[in-house]
Amino acid sequence: MVYELTKSFDADKVNAKIITLHSRLGTSLEDKVDDAGLNVEYVGCEGRVTPGKLLKVYRLIKDCQPDVIHAHMSGVIYGLPWLLTHKTKMFVTAHTTPDRAFNHRTAQLIKHFAKKHQIILVAVSQENQKLMQQAYQLDDDCIKCVNNGVDLSRYVHKEHREIVFINVGRHDKNKNQELMVRLFHAIHQKNADTKLILCGDGPEHERLVALAQDLGISSSVEFTGNVGNVQDYLARADIYLSASHREGLPLSTVEAMASSLPVISTDVGGMKNIVMDNGILVADGDEVAFYQAMEKLVNDESLRKAMGRRSREIADAFSSEKMAERYTALFNDVLLRGTDS
């Protein structure tokens, strides 16, 4: 999200510097960042927060003399020392539900600075904005909503023979790819001309590979690992699956919609804000309903394609350009109102 946002800013309006707490890892995302010419500082502050690490980031912020700070996840803690000594405002984007976005200590600090109007929380979906208002009990001015966005020009749909399910994401308990593998096994027994693609890696990856082997469907389940060309896999898919137990507004789903894919998802977080007549929402934990949704879209080609077309229409509202424009407007609004507002 930070990559898409930063490269989409109007350079005449926003001069952005990224401070990432990680070291260089040689990832495909780092290659894309380099190719885009973004101004990034890799500070190598992974792991436990220490005074030395806080000071290192503080000095980098001091070199920038920012008008505003925009923090994500653990970056919040590293931005707070600057707020203690300056009247700079900090935008904090919560990428999931309030109970999971920050630990208790960080949440209390965010609430404290938000009441002083130094922190503005940003939810990535309308549903999460409501949850944050309930959790933090803050004025509407302290909690905004900006939809995540993607570069829509990169996503197309290509014709192919098989009916292909796909999921993109970290392989972990929350993302719940195990359910997808088990239900795909049942679907594949009835329709051999089906395939499942799982893009990503994570702590559950090896167990998922073993499960596919145990179920005898290894030849029909493709594990891509972490890849930098997700759009190529989405282009040859037909149905996007999301079985997460909690979500904010995942870019991976928006990317699937931009590729004209209907979406089958659990009804969690902000999914109801993007999955409407372009897919099927089911209650988290209702495996029967999830299977029935998969079976329905496999068997009904006209519905599948109609939902796919609608996905692309909805995705047009989630472009990276619109996201950048919205954040720019928020930054400018804060600066125009002054640091004492």
Cβ-contact 30, 62 below 8 angstroms? no
pLDDT above 90: residue 138: no
Q: What is the 3-state secondary structure (H, E, C) of 204-248?
A: CHHHHHHHHHHCCCHHHEEEEECCCCHHHHHHCCCEEEECCCCCC
pLDDT above 80: residue 235: yes
Task: Give yes or no on whether 2-149+320-337 and 152-318 have one common fold.
Answer: yes
The CATH topology of domain 152-318 is: Rossmann fold (3.40.50)
DSSP string, 5-21: HHHHS-TTT----EEES
Specify the pLDDT at position 340. Answer: 47
The CATH number of the domain covering residues in 2-149+320-337: 3.40.50.2000
**Residue 12: partners with Cβ closer than 8 Å, 6 or more residues away:** none
pLDDT above 80: residue 281: yes
pTM (two decimals): 0.77
Specify the pLDDT at position 84. Answer: 93
The alpha carbon dihedral of 97, 102, 105, 108 has a sign of: negative
Measured from the Cβ of residue 78, the count of other Cβ atoms closer than 10 Å reads 22
The domain spans of the chain are 2-149+320-337, 152-318
In this predicted structure, which of 164-173, 248-257, 284-293 has the lowest mean pLDDT? 248-257
Phi, psi of 167 (to 5 degrees): -140, 140
Rounded to an integer, the average pLDDT of 60-83 is 94
339 confidence band (pLDDT: 50, 70, 90) = very low
Specify the pLDDT at position 197. Answer: 98
Smallest CA-to-CA distance from 296 within 161, 197, 191 is with 191
Q: pLDDT tens-digit profile of 171-180?
A: 999 999 999 9
Tokens of 29: 């995302």
H or E element in which residue 42 lies: strand 40-42
